[in-house]
Amino acid sequence: MALQNFIITREDWSLHRKGEVDQQRHRQKVREAIKKNLADIVSEESIILSDGRRVVKIPIRSLEQYRFRYDFRKQKHAGQGNGNSKVGDIIDSDSQQGPGKGPGAGDQPGYDYYEADVTMEEIEEIVFQDLSLPNLEEKKNKKLASESVEFRDVRKYGIQSNIDRKRTILEVLKRNALKGKPGIHGITPEDLRYKTWEVVPKYESSAVVIAMMDTSGSMGPFEKYIARSFFFWMVRFLRTKYQNVEIVFLAHHTEAKEVTEEEFFTKGESGGTRCSSVYKLALDIIDSRYPRDDYNIYAFHFSDGDNLTSDNEQCIKLIEQLLMKCQLVGYGEIEGPYYYTSTLSSAYKRVTHPRFVSVSIRDKSGVYPALKTFFKNPDQKGG
């Protein structure tokens, strides 16, 4: 019967990897895009607010496939109710935070970004690539940081995978030469040489970083956000790259106090500003807990620069004292919407010490350059 015009088959598809291969290519492009947009990504809310070890959404514009399309959010759309819908019914709401989306599936236009499923680890790896603690010195107080395996010895017995080829050949040459028939021929078991390894403890100098943040009334949400973004990345960077760094968190308005990490990143304060208070506290803490012989010491201060003018002189003096004890003193000034003529950073123009670094940040994209400025070390290799 001519009706049987069909075939059912089941091929071996195990070598068909086209989708996987193109997916790899896509991933590669995502990573390139991340590199290109690092300045934007570093200050992305979804990252700063994330709890860390999870997949984050980041805007990667270059991976959109642009085409002419209608503006989804300005159009009417058709839908279907369950029998009693009426005009005025709300079928969905945009969430108040975050970029808007249309109702329904995520593939609808209206999404501004492709949600790259990038893990924090991946982003950190790229962000931290060029960062290191500057001016690190060997200190007395070394702590065991890691153990590494080094091949240091050669023996006659060992496992096959560790054969030392060059030395084995050398033994062959020696033996043949002694027998009067020079050259490489006839390797015997006695010729074989094996490498063996030893566990070598690796030491690293310890360091302390003093994070100081202005929490006075003039620090608005934007200023706090910028300062916290910076410290967020700094903390992650220090903990990822170094085994042995302590971080001290100091918050100040007219008075300074040591706070926990959580308070540092969440608590808001108000009041006037006296920056010298926090420098004094930092110096006290260094003197009592972190002797210069044992620690590499770093101090970073973020403020909007709106200080009591009468306090500026005092600040300069204290900065100079800090510089005598620290590998680096960094000051970051966030330029808010208001314009001040006598900000701290203009006073700090007089500090000319090479280990004093000052940056100013105007918008979110300034956080990454600030990180790079503080944690770059051109003439010495980092930890």
Partner 1 sequence: MADQVLEELRQLEAAIPKMIEIARQFKLDFYPMRFEICPSEIIYTFGAYSMPTRYTHWSFGKSYHRMKTMYDYNLSRIYEMVINSDPCYAFLLEGNSIIQNKMVAAHVLAHCDFFKNNIYFSFTNPKDIIESMAVAADRFRHYEMVHGQDKVEAFIDSVMSIQEHVDPHRMIKPKVENKNKDQNNGCCQTKPASPYDDLWELDKNHSCSCQGECFRKHSKIPPQPEKDILLFIMEHAKDLEEWQLDIISTLRDEMLYFWPQMQTKIMNEGWATYWHLRIMREMDLTESEALEFAKMHAGVVLPSRSSINPYYVGLKIFEDIEKRWDKEFGPGAGREKIFEVRELENDISFIRNYLTKELVEELDLYLYRRIGHDWKIVEKNWEKIRDHLVDSMTNAGFPTIVVEDGDFGKRGELYLRHLYEQRELDILYLEKTLVHIYKLWNRPVHLETQIDNKPVLFSFNGEKGSKKFI
Rule CB under 8 A: is residue 338 a binding residue for partner 1? no
In eight-state DSSP terms, residue 34 is H
Smallest separation, CB 263 to partner 1 (Å): 33
Helix (H) or strand (E) holding 167: helix 165-179
Smallest separation, CB 226 to partner 1 (Å): 26
Smallest separation, CB 116 to partner 1 (Å): 10
Task: Give the three-state DSSP class for 246.
Answer: strand
Rule CB under 8 A: is residue 336 a binding residue for partner 1? no
Report d(CA 235, CA 223) in Å as an integer. Answer: 18
Report d(CA 367, CA 334) in Å as an integer. Answer: 10
Given 53, 83, 188, 378, the residue binding partner 1 (CB under 8 A): 83
Name which of residues 89 to 118 contact partner 1 (CB under 8 A). Answer: 89-94, 96, 102-104, 107, 109, 112, 114
Report d(CA 77, CA 70) in Å as an integer. Answer: 12
Two structure tokens written together for 167: 């030395």
Written as one letter, the residue type at 27 is R
Taking residues 114 to 153 in sequence order and writing x for each that binds partner 1 by CB under 8 A, - otherwise, the string is x---------------------------------------
Smallest separation, CB 7 to partner 1 (Å): 5
Two structure tokens written together for 201: 């403890």
- Among the residue ranges 39-47, 51-59, 65-73, 203-211, the one whose residues contact partner 1 (CB under 8 A): 65-73
Given 53, 74, 166, 179, the residue binding partner 1 (CB under 8 A): 74
Given 54, 69, 166, 349, the residue binding partner 1 (CB under 8 A): 69
Smallest separation, CB 268 to partner 1 (Å): 27
The closest alpha carbon to 271, from 282, 257, 291, 285, belongs to 257
Task: For CA atoms 153, 159, 165, 167, give the dihedral sign.
Answer: positive
Terminal-residue alpha carbon distance, the chain: 81
- Among the residue ranges 9-17, 203-211, 254-262, 265-273, the one whose residues contact partner 1 (CB under 8 A): 9-17
